[in-house]
Amino acid sequence: MTSKKVNSIKGFQHAAMLIFAVAMALIQPGTAAGALTIEITQGEKSGIPVAVVPFRWEGAGDPPANLRGIVAADLHRSGRFELLPPADYLSRPSKLSEVKFKDWRLIKAEALVVGRITEKGPDKFEVSFQLVDVYRERAKGLALRWVVPAAQLRRVAHQISDRIFYEMTGIKGAFDTRIAYVTMNISEENDRIYRLMLADSDGYNSRELFKTTGKWPILSPAWSPNSQWLAYVSFESVSGSNDNSGANVWLLNISTGDRRLAHRFDGAASAPAWSPDGESLALTVSAEGNSDIYVLGVSSGEIRRVTKHPAIDTEPAWSPDGRYLVFTSDRNGRPHIYRVSRNGGKAERLTREGKENAGASYDPTGKRLVLVTNRGQGAGYQIGVFYPESGRTDVLTDGTLDESPTFSPNGAMILYATRMGRDGVLAAISADGRVSQVLKLTDGDVREPAWAAGR
C-alpha cells in the first residue's frame, strides 16, 4: 500500500483500520464513562404545530416520569413538528371529551396530544394517550393504553411518539429504537478504556456491552436487521494466535452477551455491514497490501470476494433489496462512492461532485445515500445526502471532522460523529437539515454510532 493511497483517504473513518486505530489513540482523552446528554443546537419553527399537554397524574406524590417532556423532545428532534409551549395553553385536557377545540385553534395547533398516568398498584402504572385532530374536532387514530412498571414508562413515551409520527406523516416512527456507539476514557492507571455501549435512540438508558483496555480501539459497530446482534471490529487477541494487534470482526449477542469471531481471515478484517436478510456480512479484508470487499456467510462461513482492484476498496454497505453494495474506493485517485453487484463484476462510480466522498449507506427507500463529503478549498469533512438518480449531494452539516453517518430506521434522522472542541461527540440532524442536536458525555469521547432498526 503506497503512502499516496493512504494519505488520500486518511480523513475517513474506515479506509484503513490501522490508520484509524492510531488516530483514535491520539484523541484527547476524558476521565470517566457516563450516559449521553442531549443539547439542541439548531431548530426551526416550520413543522406541523402540535401541542403536547402534560399528562395528568392520578396517584400519590409526584408523577414517576415526565412523559410530556419525552414525547415533545422526540417530536422536536425529528424536525417535522413545531412544539407549541405549554405556557400558551388555555386548558389542559387529559382525554378527548375534555378538549375545547376553540382553545387550540386560537394558538394555531393542528394536533393535540392528551393523556394521563394512573397509579394502579405498587410499581404499576396505566398510561392512556390520544392524538386529536384540532380542525376536524375528532380523534386521529386509536386511543392507546399501557400498564407497565415505572422502568418502562420512558419506553412507553417513545412508543407514543412513534404513533404520533406515523399518524401525522404516514412514516413509521423510530423513537422506540436503540443506538450503539463507542466511548473512550482514561483509567486511573492512565490506560485508554474503549467501551461498546448501547442506549435508547435519545441517549438514555445506556449500558456497557463490551470493553477493551489498551491502545487499540473498538471500531465499526453494525446492527443485524433483527437488532439482536452487533458486528464490530476489535484488535484483541484471537485464541490460539500470537498476534494481538490484528483487526478482526466479532459478533456480539446483545441479549446474552455471547461473543464469537465472525471468521479468521488471512489479513485484517474491518468495516462489517449486515445484509438485509441477516444471512451475510459485507466487509473489507486487507491482505498482501491490498484492501477489497468480501461477503461472508454468517452461518456457513463461506467467503466470496466481490472486488479485485489494486486501489483501496472499503466501507461496504448494502442496498435495501440486497442486490448491490456501495463502497468507498480511491481507484480514480481520490475516494469516491462506487456501486457493484453483490456477486461482483464491474463497479460503477456514483459520486462526482466534491473533492472526496466516503462512508456511504442507504436510507430505507434506496433513493438516498448518506455520506461524508469534502467539497475542497479547505472545507473539511461534512455530512451530505446523495441522490443517485440526479447525482446531487445536499450538504447538511458545517463541521470539519464529521464522520460515520447512519440513517434512522425510517430515514427521517441522521446520526453521526463529530468534534466539539477537544471532545468527540455524537450529533443527530433531521434528514432535511432543519433540526440538529448533540449527544455527548460529561467527560470523554464518544463516536462510531450505529442505529438499530428496532428493539
The CATH architecture of the domain made up of 46-169 is 3-Layer(aba) Sandwich (3.40)
User: Which residue, among 277, 270, 266, has the nearest Cα to 342 in the 3D structure?
Assistant: 277
Specify the pLDDT at position 5.
38
Q: Are 274 and 318 in contact (CB under 8 A)?
A: yes
| CATH 2.120.10.30-classified regions of the chain | 3-34+175-451
* Number of Cβ within a 10 Å radius of residue 290: 17
Residue 89 DSSP class: -
Q: Are 440 and 37 in contact (CB under 8 A)?
A: yes
In 87-225, DSSP assigns E strands to 111-121, 124-133, 138-139, 144-148, 178-186, 192-200, 207-213, 219-223
Paired with 231 in beta bridges are 222, 251
Between CA 209 and CA 39 the distance in angstroms is 25
Between CA 375 and CA 379 the distance in angstroms is 6
Residue 105 DSSP class: H
What strands lie across the sheet with 413-420, from one edge to the other?
37-42, 436-440, 423-430, 413-420, 403-407
Instruction: Give the dihedral sign, CA 373/215/188/205.
Output: positive
Residue corresponding to grid cell 446528554: 37
pTM: 0.88
Cell triple for residue 11? Answer: 480523513
User: Which residue, among 110, 133, 201, 151, has the nearest Cα to 451 in the 3D structure?
Assistant: 201
Specify the pLDDT at position 17.
37
* Number of Cβ within a 10 Å radius of residue 302: 11
Q: What is the SS3 assignment for 373?
A: strand
Cell triple for residue 331? Answer: 481507484
Cell triple for residue 90? Answer: 388555555
Cell triple for residue 135? Answer: 380542525
Q: Are 236 and 219 in contact (CB under 8 A)?
A: no
pLDDT in tens, 229-246: 999 999 987 765 545 558
Between CA 400 and CA 419 the distance in angstroms is 8
Specify the pLDDT at position 420.
87
| CATH 3.40.50.10070-classified regions of the chain | 46-169
Give the domain 3-34+175-451 fold: Neuraminidase (2.120.10)
pLDDT in tens, 265-275: 989 999 999 99
Residue 96 DSSP class: G
CA distance to 84, 89, 375, per residue, from 101 (Å): 15, 12, 50
Residue by residue, pLDDT tens for the chain (455 residues) are 343 333 344 334 444 333 333 333 333 333 334 567 666 566 556 789 999 999 999 999 999 999 999 999 999 888 889 999 999 999 999 999 999 999 999 999 999 999 999 999 999 999 999 999 999 999 999 899 999 999 999 999 999 999 999 999 999 999 999 999 999 988 888 889 999 999 999 989 999 999 998 878 899 999 999 999 999 999 987 765 545 558 999 999 999 999 999 999 989 999 999 999 999 999 999 987 899 999 999 999 999 999 999 999 999 999 999 999 999 999 999 999 999 999 999 999 999 999 999 999 999 999 999 999 999 888 899 999 999 999 999 999 999 999 999 999 999 999 999 998 888 999 999 898 888 888 877 667 899 999 999 88
| Residue 215 CA neighbour count, 13 Å, CB half | 8
